[in-house]
Chain A
């Protein structure tokens, strides 16, 4: 047997004084890290199999388990870190591209954490959301270019199709295939109860979920999986996915092993075949092609649905967004480089793209400079982690935010970043029936509803403190923001002043 160069990253620590050998850890670990030794009469484990997902820790009834980072270390080297060395060993072993899941974990600046919010003192009153109406309803879409009146002088409703959200949050695209049926059901039911939208991702729409249509965004990605006229008309909006923050410029690959009967039917591809999304849309090689696709989709949906174009935040994002705004799209979705994924090449995930905060600020500024900001709604995602991030995004200029990692966390995800293995112990990123059933949608949807309600309360509390009682008065209101510890270039891009100024 070849030498295994890799030492386990995590260690399972069991307190044998507390362990009652109920074996729930063993039964719940899809990686088979735990087992019961009859001879010794005790539980044993293999640290090498542990992905640190905490399923065993969470279910252990006596709290006898914890997972710690291994203290094992390479000889210290600031250049050749343990992570870098390990990756070389893995590639030397496999000869393959390194794969990773979830968002960019590298220590790049998180600008949300370097932006501070304002509150009213003396010169104008803060508003108490418990006593006064506080509005977070958001309409996403184009604003009309001119007012039209009928023969009686009444204003005609010439609004383009819009998305109405009870609060400016949506669940971003995660395909059926990358996540489970039960995760999809949880998202769909939660969106429905909350009055917001979830997004099918590129995997089509399961026939059971057509009933959640008014709260569904159906996605059209480069693989065109599951796209049909019925599909396009099933949702409240249609999203053309050009790129994803975790892997700009890269397509997708759902291995055939995950393409079950149900998924094959939903994606409209043969069972067991690999579902490969090309890197570009092969009918969009330029911005004028995008315009054609936007209008093809509008034709197919009778101009009744807003069309979203989703792009990854890349260097030239402002100019690209300006092109999209002029393509007929109603909404632009921008996904930052910390956005999650079910699987992406590690090098791409960790080195391509830019932070959403900077992308958003420059897109919003650019569209305003060109006088076309009212022609599109802006939705941003790529690691919006809390109500504070959400408020900062809206004050920088977003109309609403997409959340996916936070939504997965609400459903139980512990960010072990092993989605690509398909053995998600929390029943989210898996198609194995025994694992899928671990996410009971009755629980999952309720936790999602709770999360968004909690954020909505917090947003209202923060807005009240600023003396703002409607979310639209926060949108693009950059005076409510100050930077902390940022360079003047960063402040310029964000369009905000430094704290104290």
Chain B
């Protein structure tokens, strides 16, 4: 049987996310509890989490989380890293062994910063340098797979139900200002650890529920710009699109949302002239990055979360608010289980982004 990356595998899913606007630390246990409620939306073939603000001890270092099939792969990858990065700290990621999580790869974590000389020689900006190194490892080093590479954030994912994955990675020992979680229901695969979600690139992480019909149009377009869709999953391509639009093209979150879940032409015709001109421009300029078919995603980034549905809202997603916290999930129950007394709960329209940032990041995030 072909594994993820060798074949494209559609899957259904559950997603959940939470953020504290004031930056109050939230324990990983909360997210496990939330995603566990939607147990039936996944089938044990993948679960994962992304936590933001979880590495306060190394806030300025890139935290690489890597799966290895073998020690040989690890050695090759470490040689690669050594040449390009200053490795400040490396260790196995601590796990709690469980019979519910099997066929484990070697899981390592590195806190790194790019070697100044190499970075300068490359004539790339730092983020581009890091992302190219990651894409290179994932494409070229057999048996090595970097699944998280942002600063002060980390992705934890595995085969299994998400609640078991959370226990396995001892997420109760982490605290962060924001979390996202994912339970997976792939349709025809034995599953693979790397194929679980969230999918991350630098500090962007995506959890996604849906099956996009525009996949190959999007993939073939984004691959022109230096990305390589090794996993052939929707989440991977969506992450790359977001990275491309935000980081490389300098779009705001709202503008990026208007590209990937573009308003219909008929809607644009009813907008006021300035808005219509912007929407038309974005559709014409990035027409190949429009995503069609059902999706609900939660994008994690440094300082915030953004929730977005496809423009027809073919997947469920609700947003809840309580004091300084904002919750986002496929189903209301996943929010109520961790916060029964919400100030407000609503279902955003298709294509309407819900963007929440840390209060301290209000001016730093390009909304």
CB distance A132 to B215 under 8 Å?
no
CB distance A468 to B292 under 8 Å?
yes
CB-based closest 5 A-B pairs:
A473-B214, A479-B216, A467-B213, A473-B292, A124-B211
CA distance A133 to B265 in the complex (A): 9
CB distance A159 to B213 under 8 Å?
no
Residue of B nearest to A124 (CB): B211
CB distance A477 to B312 under 8 Å?
no
Q: Which of A170-185 contact B (CB under 8 A)?
A: none
CA distance A473 to B281 in the complex (A): 17
Q: Which of chain A's residues have a CB closer than 8 A to the CB of B274?
A: 154
Q: How far is the CB of A335 from chain B (nearest CB, A)?
A: 24
Q: Does A71 sit within 8 A of B, measured CB to CB? A: no
Given A125-B294, A159-B281, A374-B288, CB of A479 within 8 Å of CB of B251: no
Q: Which of B213, B221, B293 contacts A476 (CB 8 A)?
A: B221
CB distance B265 to A137 under 8 Å?
yes
Q: How far is the CB of B105 from chain A (nearest CB, A)?
A: 27
CB distance A155 to B292 under 8 Å?
no
Which of A80-88, A141-149, A268-276, A379-387 contacts the other chain? A141-149
CB distance B284 to A470 under 8 Å?
no
Q: Which of A132, A154, A472 contacts B290 (CB 8 A)?
A: A472
Given A143-B285, A374-B224, CB of A468 within 8 Å of CB of B216: no
Given A373-B221, A470-B290, A472-B288, CB of A157 within 8 Å of CB of B216: no
CB distance A478 to B285 under 8 Å?
no
Q: How far is the CB of B241 from chain A (nearest CB, A)?
A: 12
Between A120, A373, A469, the greatest number of chain B beta carbons within 10 A of the residue's beta carbon is seen for A469
Q: Which of chain B's residues have a CB closer than 8 A to the CB of A123?
A: 10-12, 187, 211
Q: Does A139 sit within 8 A of B, measured CB to CB? A: yes
Between B214, B251, B294, the greatest number of chain A beta carbons within 10 A of the residue's beta carbon is seen for B214
Q: Which of chain A's residues have a CB closer than 8 A to the CB of B277?
A: 157
Given A135-B265, A139-B287, A470-B292, CB of A477 within 8 Å of CB of B211: no
CB distance B290 to A124 under 8 Å?
no
CB distance B225 to A476 under 8 Å?
no
Q: Which of A135, A144, A468, A475 contacts B293 (CB 8 A)?
A: A468
Q: Does A435 sit within 8 A of B, measured CB to CB? A: no
CB distance A146 to B249 under 8 Å?
yes
Q: Which of chain A's residues have a CB closer than 8 A to the CB of B11?
A: 123
Residue of B nearest to A372 (CB): B224
Q: Does B217 sit within 8 A of A, measured CB to CB? A: yes
Given A162-B284, A374-B224, A468-B292, CB of A125 within 8 Å of CB of B314: yes
CA distance A474 to B294 in the complex (A): 15
Given A120-B213, A133-B264, A157-B277, CB of A473 within 8 Å of CB of B290: yes
CA distance A372 to B277 in the complex (A): 25
Given A127-B312, A135-B265, CB of A476 within 8 Å of CB of B288: yes
A-B contact pairs, 16 of them (CB 8 A): A120-B293, A124-B294, A124-B314, A125-B294, A135-B265, A143-B287, A154-B278, A155-B255, A155-B278, A155-B282, A467-B213, A467-B292, A470-B290, A473-B218, A473-B291, A476-B217
CA distance A132 to B294 in the complex (A): 14
Q: Which of A127, A139, A476 contacts B220 (CB 8 A)?
A: A476
CB distance A466 to B290 under 8 Å?
no
Residue of B nearest to A125 (CB): B314
Interface size class of B (residues with CB under 8 A): 35 or more
CB distance B314 to A472 under 8 Å?
no
Q: Which of chain A's residues have a CB closer than 8 A to the CB of B291?
A: 473
Q: Which of chain B's residues have a CB closer than 8 A to the CB of A308?
A: none
CB distance B10 to A124 under 8 Å?
yes
CB distance B293 to A472 under 8 Å?
no
Q: How far is the CB of A188 from chain B (nearest CB, A)?
A: 25
Q: Does A453 sit within 8 A of B, measured CB to CB? A: no
Q: Which of chain A's residues have a CB closer than 8 A to the CB of B8?
A: 479
CA distance A55 to B307 in the complex (A): 63
CA distance A135 to B10 in the complex (A): 24
CB distance A466 to B286 under 8 Å?
no
Q: Which of B258-305 contact A (CB under 8 A)?
A: 262, 264-266, 274, 277-278, 281-288, 290-294
CA distance A368 to B293 in the complex (A): 24
CB distance A473 to B264 under 8 Å?
no
Q: What's the count of A-B pairs with C-beta under 8 Å?
A: 114
Residue of A nearest to B187 (CB): A123
Q: Which of B302-361 contact A (CB under 8 A)?
A: 311-312, 314
Known: A124-B294, A157-B277, A467-B213. 7 other contacts (CB 8 A): A123-B187, A154-B274, A155-B281, A374-B224, A467-B211, A470-B292, A475-B288
Q: Which of chain A's residues have a CB closer than 8 A to the CB of B288?
A: 374, 472, 475-476
1/0 per residue B113-148: CB within 8 Å of A? 000000000000000000000000000000000000
Q: Does A480 sit within 8 A of B, measured CB to CB? A: yes
CA distance A423 to B197 in the complex (A): 68
Q: Does A485 sit within 8 A of B, measured CB to CB? A: no
Q: Which of B210, B223, B225, B251 contacts A124 (CB 8 A)?
A: B210
Q: Does A371 sit within 8 A of B, measured CB to CB? A: yes
Q: How far is the CB of B297 from chain A (nearest CB, A)?
A: 15
Q: Which of B214, B224, B250, B311 contacts A477 (CB 8 A)?
A: B214
CB distance A478 to B220 under 8 Å?
yes
CA distance A160 to B222 in the complex (A): 21
CB distance B221 to A139 under 8 Å?
no
1/0 per residue B4-42: CB within 8 Å of A? 000010111000000000000000000000000000000
CB distance A466 to B213 under 8 Å?
yes
Residue of A nearest to B252 (CB): A153
Q: Which of chain A's residues have a CB closer than 8 A to the CB of B293?
A: 120, 124, 467-468, 473
Q: Which of chain A's residues have a CB closer than 8 A to the CB of B250?
A: 147
Q: How far is the CB of A130 from chain B (nearest CB, A)?
A: 14
Q: Which of chain B's residues have a CB closer than 8 A to the CB of A133?
A: 264, 266
Q: Which of chain A's residues have a CB closer than 8 A to the CB of B251?
A: 147
Q: How far is the CB of B293 from chain A (nearest CB, A)?
A: 5
Q: Which of B50-87 contact A (CB under 8 A)?
A: none
CB distance A135 to B214 under 8 Å?
no
CA distance A397 to B217 in the complex (A): 9
Q: Which of chain B's residues have a CB closer than 8 A to the CB of A162?
A: 284
Q: Which of chain B's residues have a CB closer than 8 A to the CB of A127?
A: 312
